[in-house]
Amino acid sequence: MFFSELVEFYERIEAITGRIEMTNLLVQLLKITPPEIIDKVVYLTLGEVYPPFIGLELGVADKMALKAVKLASGMSERDVERAYKELGDVGLVGERMLAEKSQVTLFMQQLMVEDVYSALEKIARVSGEGSMETKIQILSGLLASAQPKEAKYILRIVMGKMRLGVADMTILDALAILFGGGKEARDLFERAYNLSSDIGYVAKVAAQIGLDGIKKFKITLGKPIRPMLAERLSSAEEILEKIGGKCIAEYKYDGERMQIHKDGDEVLIFSRRLENITSQYPDVLELVRKHVKAGEAILECECVAVDPETGDMLPFQELMHRKRKHDVHKAVEQYPVIVHFFDALYVDGRDLTLEPLEVRRKTLESIIEEGERVKLSKGIITDDPNEIEKFLHEAVEEGCEGLVVKALGEEAIYRAGARGWLWIKLKRSYKSEMVDTVDLVVVGAFHGRGKRSGTYGALLMAAYDKQRDVFQSVCKVGSGFTDEDLRKLPELLGPYKISHRHARVETGMEADIWFEPKTVLEIIGDEITISPIHRAAWGMIREGYGLAIRFPRFTGRYRFDKAPEDATTIDELIEMYRRQLKKLMPSPAEGQGAT
Ligand code: AMP
């Protein structure tokens, strides 16, 4: 397949903003893609070379990319600089410079998709001393054989700025239509994706084996399973009612969630966002080798920092010391951890994700040998709300955030990648006001004035609509930022700046600056109200209104551990709004359960 064919699609995709049209174009593209390279085409379209959990980045900055453009085009540094100043986009600079050059080069071989992919792969893999120079060389070589438009996209991919607005979910839709015969097959494809987190791999299985391969999709050690997530409610009674009367209530440890893949002595650790965090936890690797009595396993645990002197659990923030690149061993000594295992998803060839919780728990108990640093999550089986309440206080007293209450029975499978009512969080601080924080995605900003001129005055924040895979604005937040935050924010958000509202963002507000939805911040407000401007839960509570957060403030917590799709969802907001109403004016009609 010629790379130019791909580029033609990119040009068309870039020009549209609607999801349906985008999906249709993707269907056309994948239809003409040879099955052997469909995974590569999928990664490139997403602006990647590998699925994100591999953790290999192309890592080419503006300056280096411009240097490669200069080398490939033979233009002077001044010309390149000038074009960059004028266009502000390295992709466009590359396109223009090569267009000027191509007047002299007449005969050139056409680039194939594989050529581009393998060059990008090389760029991603080079590391160590002198790697920057090597990357520039490979890139300029590639650009020298590219048409101007091809150069534009090569540069965007290499800089991590593809931004076609295509997401994994859009590709899934396209795959279901193309290989599953329509939207009805969407769930099967979604399950395959949830079991592998690798959309390119799912595409390849579909293209090479067909729908049957998707139906019998197998878990692969080393490919993370998308985590099951919890809903939330504010009282033990409500939870028991929702969950079917009987439950297992477990401590909700305040640490870092880990998905551990063990293949003999090989151990990998993935974060909740499915990043490979193995190198940060050499001590956990040792613990797993010693305490997990299975050859192959995929297990989930919460890793909690402990006070080495008292053995007390420390808050989540203490784990930040593990995020350093150097001296990890020092951090291991200074900030020891305990792992609390709570689920088993795969053990010695057996996929447990469709087994009920009791079976998974029994399996987990049979392979974990507890020790000082390795525990099974603490839980009680009960149908008594008072007992849950008491257990909650106990958990909080021991340094936990609250409880995760889990459903029992045949239906209580591991729902990979889903937030559902099989797991429900119970924290202690629910009141009628909005005392609970939400995690929102930055989608835009407003220029600051006075003391804040030159930085942002406020940020436009959005919640996540999972059904439609879009981000809907819910407030404009200007308080709670320290001077340090205000200084840092342009640096932090700058790389995600785009010239127009992102295709997956919905809002009635006109921001001065728009961003790709990437950065998640923790926000607290006074209450949730209906709003004619914000688009969260649009029309779901009242025709022509959405939900907004009144008097929002930044709590100071940057949620780098959350992907934008992990932000507070519309459903959660609606639920919080309803609970709040119910407390204010109890009426039999209100709050009959969640939507
Ligand atoms: P959330 O991430 O906000 O949906 O809350 C659920 C989180 O609680 C999970 O992602 C885990 O990181 C954490 N957690 C702590 N203890 C447990 C437990 N016993 N079972 C499940 N999740 C737990």
440-464 tens-digit pLDDT: 999 999 998 777 788 898 999 999 9
Residue 533: predicted pLDDT: 82
Indicate whether 533 belongs to any domain: yes
Cβ contact 19:125 at 8 Å: no
Q: Which atom of ligand 1 is nearest to the CA of 251?
A: 19
Residue 107: predicted pLDDT: 58
Statement: residue 108 has pLDDT above 80: no
Same domain assignment for residues 271 and 419? yes
Instruction: Calculate the dihedral angle through the C-alpha atoms of 293, 298, 303, 308, rounding to the nearest 10 degrees.
Output: 20
Strand ranges in 253-318 using DSSP code E only, listed in sequence order: 256-263, 266-270, 296-305
Label residue 432 by pLDDT band (50, 70, 90): very low
Q: Report CA(404)–ligand 1 centroid distance (Å).
A: 7
Residue 312: predicted pLDDT: 72
Q: Of 40, 252, 425, 476, which one is the catalytic site residue?
A: 252
Q: Domain boundary at 359, 393, 426, which?
A: 426
Going by alpha carbons, the residue nearest to atom 14 of ligand 1 is 252
Same domain assignment for residues 466 and 401? no
Same domain assignment for residues 132 and 266? no
Q: Is 101 a catalytic residue?
A: no
Q: Domain boundary at 107, 131, 158, which?
A: 158
Better-scored residue on pLDDT, 232 or 545: 232
CA dist 252 to 12, 156, 308, 479, Å? Answer: 47, 42, 21, 30
Indicate whether 431 belongs to any domain: no
Cβ contact 258:302 at 8 Å: yes
Statement: residue 309 has pLDDT above 90: no
The pick from 247, 342, 400, 403 for probing ligand 1's pocket by mutation, whose C-beta has the most ligand atoms within 8 angstroms, reads 342
The reply to whether ligand 1 has any atom less than 6 angstroms from the CB of 259 is: no
Residue 479: predicted pLDDT: 85
The reply to whether ligand 1 has any atom less than 6 angstroms from the CB of 302 is: yes
Copy the structure tokens of residue 374: 């390795």
Same domain assignment for residues 521 and 449? yes
Same domain assignment for residues 401 and 518? no
- Give the pLDDT confidence of 332-384 residue by residue, as tens digits: 888 899 999 999 999 999 999 999 999 999 999 999 999 999 999 999 999 99
Statement: residue 588 has pLDDT above 50: no
Label residue 183 by pLDDT band (50, 70, 90): confident
Copy the structure tokens of residue 480: 């709670």
Q: Report CA(230)–ligand 1 centroid distance (Å).
A: 7
Q: Residue range 395-407: average pLDDT?
A: 86
Going by alpha carbons, the residue nearest to atom 2 of ligand 1 is 229
Label residue 392 by pLDDT band (50, 70, 90): confident
The reply to whether ligand 1 has any atom less than 6 angstroms from the CB of 257 is: yes
Q: Measured between alpha carbons, how far is 480 from 589 in angstroms, rounded to an integer?
A: 37
Q: Measured between alpha carbons, how far is 255 from 278 in angstroms, rounded to an integer?
A: 16
Indicate whether 29 belongs to any domain: no
Q: How many domains does the chain have?
A: 3
Residue 584: predicted pLDDT: 58
Same domain assignment for residues 247 and 375? yes
Residue 205: predicted pLDDT: 98
Indicate whether 208 belongs to any domain: no
Same domain assignment for residues 559 and 450? yes
Q: Domain boundary at 391, 426, 461, which?
A: 426
Label residue 591 by pLDDT band (50, 70, 90): very low
Statement: residue 587 has pLDDT above 60: no
Same domain assignment for residues 413 and 459? no
Same domain assignment for residues 334 and 462? no
Residue 303: predicted pLDDT: 97
The reply to whether ligand 1 has any atom less than 6 angstroms from the CB of 406 is: no
Same domain assignment for residues 455 and 377? no
Q: Report CA(83)–ligand 1 centroid distance (Å).
A: 50
Indicate whether 576 belongs to any domain: yes
- Domain hosting 258: range is 229-426
- Give the pLDDT confidence of 69-101 residue by residue, as tens digits: 999 999 999 999 999 999 989 999 999 999 988
Indicate whether 486 belongs to any domain: yes
The reply to whether ligand 1 has any atom less than 6 angstroms from the CB of 342 is: yes
Worst-scoring range by mean pLDDT, 5-9, 106-110, 345-349?
106-110
pTM of the complete model: 0.76
Q: Report CA(231)–ligand 1 centroid distance (Å).
A: 10
Going by alpha carbons, the residue nearest to atom 12 of ligand 1 is 257
